[in-house]
Structure 1
Amino acid sequence: MSGIVLSSSVRQNLLSLQSTASLLATTQNDLATGNKVNSALDNPTNFFTAQSLNNRASDISNLLDSIGNGVQVLQAANTGITSLQSLVDSAKSIANQVLQSPVGYDTKSNVTSTTLTGATSTNLLNFNAGPLVGTAVNNDATGGNAAAISGSTLLSGTAGTGSNDLATGLTTADSLVVNGVTFGFVAGTSSSGTSIGIGDTVAHLLSTVDAAAGVTSSISGGQITFAPTSSTTGVTIGGSAAVLGDLGLTATGNSLEGETLSIAATGGGTATAITFGTLSGQVSTLNQLNTALAANNLQATVTNGQINITTTNDAASSTIGAITGTATAASQAFNGLTAAAPVANATSQSQRAGLVAQYNNVLSQINSTAQDASFNGVNLLNGDTLKLVFDETGKSTLSITGVTYNSAGLGLSNLTSGTDFLDNASANKVLTALNSASTTLRSEASTLGSNLSIVQVRQDFNKSLIDVLQTGSSNLTLADTNELAADSQALSTRQSIAVQALSLANQSQASVLQLLR
């Protein structure tokens, strides 16, 4: 073959035909694959760049499955939260039934004072409203009784002389109590405020008492009269026996004026400390008394001058706490009072025991619901943690820490029949815990919703990013089929022309051959 010699025109046409055939083959291959870059030989830069973009798109695509599972885990937890909230609402309904049920006791714990003469709901201190009258005498040191004293007589005189003095034996240890105000005796001849000078006159003693105790006093014919300032107030007298004897007065009645009453904490309430009187912060009416008792789950009524204190419905199962104070002293209205325990109503308590069983059943459902709120082995309501990876490098992640929302995790505990739901206070205590559980669930639902939104945004972002990467890769490698089709048609035409040209070039040699024949 090496000895065959082609003419220049034949060789030129042959090379052109070969070039056209090669271009046509490439164009047809591009049309068949749809790519203008099929290998690194076609365009190294575009080929490897497109391959890198496709690889990244593939890696991110693989993450979409994991992200999709994460979305389902969050939705499962959110579904669990919704169900738990419904169960908590059911438990609230049961507790509210307790509040709507009749009081579970035939008799609540209570105490009743002795009769306070004239006491009413508007004035617990209103008794002994008339004037108190006593005859003051002068007692000499020998114990003899002389004539009645006058307003100008000194409280102390010369001992043993029989002079017109009042209680020669008076000391600073003595005292006089008028309307709950205590007057102490002091050395000297001056009286002021709640201090009485031993050397002062009886008239000045009385004016000092008037100013501090809110009474009107007078002395006439040896008689001392203490009168109330109005028809709505009374007068009470007390103090040292020597003083009362010298004034011819006797300690009066069981007035609550100036007395104190303390009741220990009842049914989880706040201990009560009361001072009876008309001054600021003191108690003189039934409304004021009930205001003071309310924080200790107690309430009071007044009937025929007697004050009855009983527990409220909230603390119907409780016994009134220990009662102390000066109002419990001998001859006082609350002397020796101890409250008895409440008497339960069997039918009502049986109904409440049934509500306890229903409540505990709801808690059991809360526990099982929290355990079942899982997807693909991950339960965000049972303490699991969900970690999601959003990019191919593993640097973009989100960790969602789970919670434990069984009954204990929500701050709820089983109730005990005969101990719980006995009264309104126990029901309110349960409702407080349930309201707290509802708040906790709503807060977690908000957190889950926020995390779900983040995950869905990243999921959509990754889908869009994959499309961007694949589009970029295609732009580097995909061919324009319209252009290739035109090129193919043109190359086919050129190939036909080249064949014809080659045929023409060969005709000269055929003519020579004809001559040789």
Structure 2
Amino acid sequence: MSDVTLNSAVRSNLRTLQSTTDLMARTEERLSTGKKVNSALDNPSSFFTAQSLDRRAGDLSNLLDSVSSSVQTIEAADNGISAISDLVTQMKSTARSAQQSDSAIAAKASFTSGAITGASSSNLLGAGAEVDGTADLSAFTAAAGDAGNLVINGETIAIAAADEGTDVVDKINAKTADTGVTATLGDDGKLQLSAKAGETLEVGSGSTAATLTALGLTAGTTNSESGLTGKTLEVTVGDGSKKTITFGNGDGEVSSLDELNKALADSNAKASLTSDGKLTIETTNAYGSSDLTIGGTAVSTDGTAAAGEVFDLASSASTTAEAVLDDDGKSTRQDYVNDYNDLKSQISELAKDASYNGVNLLNGDDLSVTFNEDGSSKLEIGGVDIMDVLSLDDIDIESFLDSSKIEKVVGKLNDALNSLDSLSSRLGSQLSVVETRESFTKDMIGTLEDGSYALTGADTNEEAANLATLQTRQSLITSSLSISTSQEQNVLQLIQ
């Protein structure tokens, strides 16, 4: 107050008291806020720098919530994939169970030939050239005049004196094995020579006449009676490729049941021969429900019985045979079909539930994860339609009729499982990226907040010590002020 005159001592103490009060107010503010810079007036450079750091930390903190939500969205999709994999595995188990159930095939598609004269499992071509001797060799012993050479298919067999009938047979077979000629003694003791079907049997004119007479043979050539040699059989099972087989004794040709089955093996067909020489071609067990189509020059389609046309299809307008289904087996497998389709329908339902916060990566939704405050760093996660990924359709009884068709279903299920594994791997990699960025963002927020505090934070221990000192100083100043006003108090006492 301008009307009040203070002595110099009081005025000095007052100024000191005012300064101390200001310092106490500032110290108390630092203690209450924890900051030594609370406004631009305290330190403009530190205040605005810290404000920028805090603002970025706040922006990243807001993004962190979105990143955390994205982690849950990806995990929800991965959980869905895991559950769908279990369903696909159950579908695969259902298919395998159907494969082991009662057969749905009562009779496989097949064709049976007419009787092939002389056919056997080792000789499908039937009767070949045969020559029968007229002499009884059961008690035969060659005399000196009977010894000589016997020429068969160009091979010379030396018949020695004292050779018995069995010796003659053994010598012939030892020489003619490679020419397809076989010698035996019949029940009547007479020599029998036979060649494979399609082969020629020649008793050569270079044979010794006395030897021929002793064995009851005549020089000459006998041709094969088989008409199957050189004929072809074309076999097709289902939608497979056509297999062409040529009958005969040459390289790559078929003359025995074993050779025929080896040739048919990769065509999913097999052959059998009845005791009366009828050849049957049918589908294998694994392809029991498949159609069987045959053709070739061994097949007659005009009703005529030309040489070697052992399969007669003249009574049918088609060369394709169909399998006969078993009603009981078909009913059993239909139950498995229903179970399979029910499991498949659950995949779609499960995928619809694999969403989080309204985003479903298995139902075609995309997810964009932003990692920084200006949106320049982000990860785009493309969603999929899980049913398109799996490529699985409902099936009907045709898919479960035989093993081959079930194997096709199982193959698709294996492909579906592989696709799920690939999708899970991709989402796992993306989840790893998001989790890494989430951890990085948390660390970055901490770094920014630490930087801001380093610029504006107060040392509360120091400020508490300062406040205690200022409080002591304030008390001392107050006492000093009281002393400074003692002169005025003396005057007051004189007045009183």
Conserved in 1, the CA contact under 8 Å of 2:245 and 2:254? yes
For structure 2, the residue ranges without an aligned partner over 5 or more in a row are: 134-150, 157-175, 183-194, 201-218, 314-318
> 443, 457, 467: which one pairs with 2:436?
457
> 154, 175, 179: which one pairs with 1:229?
179
Shift of 1:272: 0.7
Conserved in 2, the CA contact under 8 Å of 1:27 and 1:484? yes
> 309, 322, 327: which one pairs with 1:341?
322
Conserved in 2, the CA contact under 8 Å of 1:261 and 1:323? yes
2:459: which partner in 1? Answer: 480
- Are 2:6 and 1:11 aligned? no
Q: Which amino acid aligns with 1:415?
A: I
Cα distance in 2 for residues equivalent to 1:352 and 1:493: 99
1:411: which partner in 2? Answer: 391
Conserved in 1, the CA contact under 8 Å of 2:37 and 2:46? yes
- Are 2:289 and 1:317 aligned? yes
1:348-398 Cα offsets, whole Å, 9 max, x none, are 111122222222211211221222222222111111111111111111111
> Which moves more between the two structures, 333-342 or 435-444?
333-342
Change (3 A) 1:456 1:117: same
1:115-157 Cα offsets, whole Å, 9 max, x none, are 4455444454574264599xxxxxxxxxxxxxxxxxxxxxxxx
- Are 2:355 and 1:393 aligned? no
Shift of 1:320: 1.5
Structure 2 matches for 1:78-97, cutoff 5 A? Answer: 78-97=78-97
How many percent identity over aligned positions?
43
1:44-88 Cα offsets, whole Å, 9 max, x none, are 122112211111111111112222221221122112111211111
Q: Which amino acid aligns with 1:424?
A: S
Structure 2 matches for 1:110-509, cutoff 5 A? Answer: 110-125=110-125, 127-128=127-128, 130=130, 216=154, 229-231=179-181, 234=196, 236=198, 252-263=224-235, 265-304=236-275, 305-326=277-298, 330-332=306-308, 334-337=310-313, 340-406=321-387, 409-417=389-397, 419-508=398-487
Shift of 1:90: 1.5
Conserved in 2, the CA contact under 8 Å of 1:387 and 1:397? yes
Q: Which amino acid aligns with 2:85?
A: Q
Change (3 A) 1:236 1:3: closer
SS for the counterpart of 2:111 is strand
Cα distance in 1 for residues equivalent to 2:101 and 2:493: 131
- Give the alignment's TM-score, normalised by structure 2: 0.76
- Give the alignment's TM-score, normalised by structure 1: 0.73
Q: Which amino acid aligns with 1:413?
A: D
Change (3 A) 1:493 1:422: same
Shift of 1:446: 1.0
Cα distance in 2 for residues equivalent to 1:510 and 1:359: 110
Cα distance in 1 for residues equivalent to 2:310 and 2:416: 44
Change (3 A) 1:250 1:340: farther
Q: Which amino acid aligns with 1:276?
A: F
Shift of 1:432: 1.5
Cα distance in 2 for residues equivalent to 1:361 and 1:309: 39
SS for the counterpart of 1:321 is strand
1:86-126 Cα offsets, whole Å, 9 max, x none, are 11112111211222123322221222334445544445457
Q: Which amino acid aligns with 2:353?
A: D
Shift of 1:256: 4.0
Change (3 A) 1:363 1:516: closer
For structure 1, the residue ranges without an aligned partner over 5 or more in a row are: 134-206, 219-226, 239-246
Cα distance in 2 for residues equivalent to 1:371 and 1:216: 83
Cα distance in 2 for residues equivalent to 1:319 and 1:19: 110
Cα distance in 1 for residues equivalent to 2:481 and 2:231: 139
Conserved in 1, the CA contact under 8 Å of 2:128 and 2:199? no
1:173: which partner in 2? Answer: none
Conserved in 2, the CA contact under 8 Å of 1:39 and 1:47? yes
Q: Which amino acid aligns with 2:434?
A: V
1:217-257 Cα offsets, whole Å, 9 max, x none, are 89xxxxxxxx871447625269xxxxxxxx99786433544
CA RMSD between the two structures: 3.1
SS for the counterpart of 1:113 is strand
Change (3 A) 1:292 1:434: same
Change (3 A) 1:216 1:130: farther
Shift of 1:416: 2.5
Cα distance in 2 for residues equivalent to 1:122 and 1:53: 95
Conserved in 1, the CA contact under 8 Å of 2:129 and 2:199? no
Cα distance in 2 for residues equivalent to 1:415 and 1:296: 25
Q: Which amino acid aligns with 1:330?
A: A
Change (3 A) 1:248 1:216: closer
Cα distance in 2 for residues equivalent to 1:433 and 1:308: 34
Cα distance in 1 for residues equivalent to 2:475 and 2:117: 138
Cα distance in 1 for residues equivalent to 2:46 and 2:260: 94
Shift of 1:317: 1.6
> Which moves more between the two structures, 379-388 or 338-347?
338-347
Conserved in 1, the CA contact under 8 Å of 2:129 and 2:224? no
Cα distance in 1 for residues equivalent to 2:494 and 2:337: 127
2:44: which partner in 1? Answer: 44
Cα distance in 2 for residues equivalent to 1:315 and 1:77: 40
Q: Which amino acid aligns with 1:323?
A: G
- Are 2:6 and 1:30 aligned? no
